[in-house]
A and B are shown apart, each in its own frame.
Chain A
Amino acid sequence: MDFTLCLTHACNMRCSYCYAVDKRASSMTWKTAKRAIDCCLAETLSRSKLRQCRAITQLGFFGGEPLLEWKLLQRATEYTEEECSRLDILLKKTVTTNMSLLDEEKASWLKDHRFQVALSLDGAADRHNLLRRMADGSPSHANCAGALQWFRGKNVNSEMILVVDPHNISGLADSVQWLVDQEMFSYILSPNYNAVWSEAARAQWQVEIERIGIIYQQCFRDGRPIRIDIFDSKIEAHIANPLQRCGQCSFGGNQIAVAPDGRFYPCVRIVGLIDRAGMEAGDVSSGIDSRRLARLAPTGSVPSGECNDCLARPRCKNWCACVNHATTGNVDSVSGLVCYHERMTINIADQVAATLFAEKNPAFLSRFYR
């Protein structure tokens, strides 16, 4: 059972595309955090016993901006580490941050504690500042980008999150190139599916992804291959196993998000909504309501009907319940925009991979045919 503590609703930034609209200055208490950790570790042990396999969990921190609650984050981490050591649970840790509060000391602590750090930055200053502003409306790039220096290189467990929006789509590839030049290694391009994507914006989207494909290829040719989720996951799913769904999450299954007030939800994305009614699955007092959680899960019926015979289906992100919920109101229904994005990225990923394969690129073969 993986669990993410949303330490606070508060954020010191006001990114225009942020889906977490609840930005009240409401934070988790230590008592709530501890009870949530205890609940989730107990559930992890129970599930691993049922499955007769090693207990594994992932502790995540999310917000708002979780680094606003740095002391709580540290305390919760150290407590979880101690408990996992005592209970023989394999522990992984992640944190997602807007980078504005990172300093050398915090970066060092996160590295020492072997965190996977997801860094939200939209690239170079001009593009980043378009939609990512501080709470007072001022540009944020200068506050954020300095932290890149502590997360460079492929040996640091970090990944860049670039939000892709119709208003910042132009220059997306330049931003990726800028980050590549900063020696960042791993990228998540996260589309804003709630935005209105005009035909022109979609056309530009395709142009930018194609250009990113060229950057990706060049990095492999230069012997310093990068990872970009929309390419790696699609290529990997085809090569390794067409039945392996890409980067599948476990909405209603093996993951839980804990709101600052101690309520449990199936996904962190839900915690940021103002209206979360009907999506709870217990709380720190009553424990995880597994039945309720399972009832919130998708039925798995997404690919039927309109998606039948689609060759992209095994590699499509149609499973993402929170995106489905956000775009169609139904965890089982896929929006046309998601379909568009998936077909586009699969096409381009396949072109990129076919070229690198034809070139017998050693880095490509090593990564995907190892």
Chain B
Amino acid sequence: MKIKKHHKLPAYPNAVQFAASAKILGLATVASLGVSSALADEPAPGDPKVSTAVSKEQEKPIVVGGECDSFDNIPDFMLEEGIHDYAYEQCGYKTLKEIVKMFYKDGIVDAKHRGKILPFDTDTCCALVLAANPALKLDSSGKLTRAKPDPEDHSPISNVLMPRVYKKTKEIHNAEEVEYSTHDYQYVTKSGDTLKSIVASFYKGGAAGKAPDYKDIPFDSDVACKLVAAANPALKLDSFENPLPIGTKLLLPKVYKHECGH
């Protein structure tokens, strides 16, 4: 028998579409289904687009998390939507490193900040956050400033997008478990592969053809290389450009991007 392709889209909505159109359909409100009130209060009228729903979500920091085994009350779609849909309202005096440490390590901003399980070191996390916020840059003290400052705008920077990446398990039902992971893709190096060439082929053009879903990784090549290096702590890289031994098994981060308009 031959492999054939399936071309039919389901005729029922996914959770995000459903959340956006719940009131229109006359179904239960989104809030009663356990989705955040920010989304429930203002469903996108007649337009159940994912991007709309997510941009509403970004108006308030919506954070979910907890221990590895306590995902029960989290709407599933919120777990999956991307690395950029955490909005952190900056307090004005924090350096990026402090924010990153609060967000990903100690979780003291809010106990619900699930980002604390991010499996990268602080510097890599900072690179991730910066890459996720192209409108921002760091000043010499490490504080976040606007990349193109407006002399008339002295408002504090808000809505710093925090990468959402996982290394967790989630209980679906019964004992079935699905692992949400940043590291799920494995790549076995071939002759002449360098980390940079792998990253370029995997995330940009998708030439490796391994995972076209992930080619839209929104970081530049060096940051993406850092991500891969962080995901492979057992691998010592002398440079991103030098060929890797043939047959090296690399874990490639599984990260997603949203059209979030930020």
Which A residues fall within an 8 A CB radius of B?
2, 51-54, 56, 58, 90, 92, 94, 116, 157, 159, 186, 227, 232, 236, 238-245, 247-248, 250, 253-254, 294-295, 297-301, 303-312, 314, 334-337, 339-340, 342-343, 346-347, 350, 353-354, 357-358, 360, 365, 369-370
Contacts and interface: CB of A to CB of B under 8 A. Distances in A.
Interface in B162-211: 167-169, 172-179, 184-188, 209-211
A53 B1 contact: no
B256 A243 contact: yes
Given A52-B117, A242-B14, A299-B187, A236 B172 contact: yes
25 contacts: A51-B168, A53-B68, A56-B68, A56-B177, A159-B174, A239-B12, A241-B76, A241-B77, A242-B14, A244-B80, A248-B178, A248-B179, A300-B184, A300-B210, A312-B5, A339-B2, A346-B6, A350-B11, A354-B10, A357-B12, A358-B12, A360-B25, A360-B27, A369-B18, A369-B33
A240 B77 contact: yes
B94 interface: no
A120 B177 CA distance: 21
Contacts of A300: 184-187, 210-211
- Among A298, A306, A308, A369, the most chain B Cβ lie within 10 Å of the Cβ of A369
B79 A354 contact: no
Nearest to A318: B3
B67 interface: yes
Nearest to A48: B68
Given A53-B167, A295-B249, A309-B5, A304 B210 contact: yes
B91 interface: no
A365 B19 CA distance: 12
B76 A240 contact: yes
Given A56-B69, A300-B186, A336-B1, A353 B12 contact: yes
B69 A343 contact: no
Contacts of B178: 244-245, 247-248
B15 A240 contact: yes
Contacts of A245: 178
A306 B5 CA distance: 8
A238 B175 CA distance: 20
Interface in B233-259: 249, 256
Contacts of A350: 8, 10-12
B148 interface: no
Interface string B130-171: 000000000000000000000000000000000000011100
Contacts of A244: 76, 80, 178
A312 B6 contact: yes
Contacts of A294: 186, 249
Nearest to B10: A350
Given A53-B167, A239-B12, A337 B1 contact: yes
Contact of A353 (B10, B77, B119, B174): B10
A51 B174 contact: no
B174 A336 contact: no
A88 to B, nearest CB: 12
B10 A241 contact: no
B33 A347 contact: no
Given A307-B3, A350-B11, A241 B33 contact: no
A340 B80 contact: no
Contacts of B119: 51-52
Contacts of A365: 27-28
Nearest to A311: B6
Contacts of B7: 311
A291 to B, nearest CB: 9
Interface in B1-42: 1-15, 18, 25-28, 33-34
Nearest to A362: B28
Given A54-B67, A347-B6, A365-B27, 6 more contacts: A2-B177, A241-B80, A294-B249, A335-B1, A336-B2, A369-B18
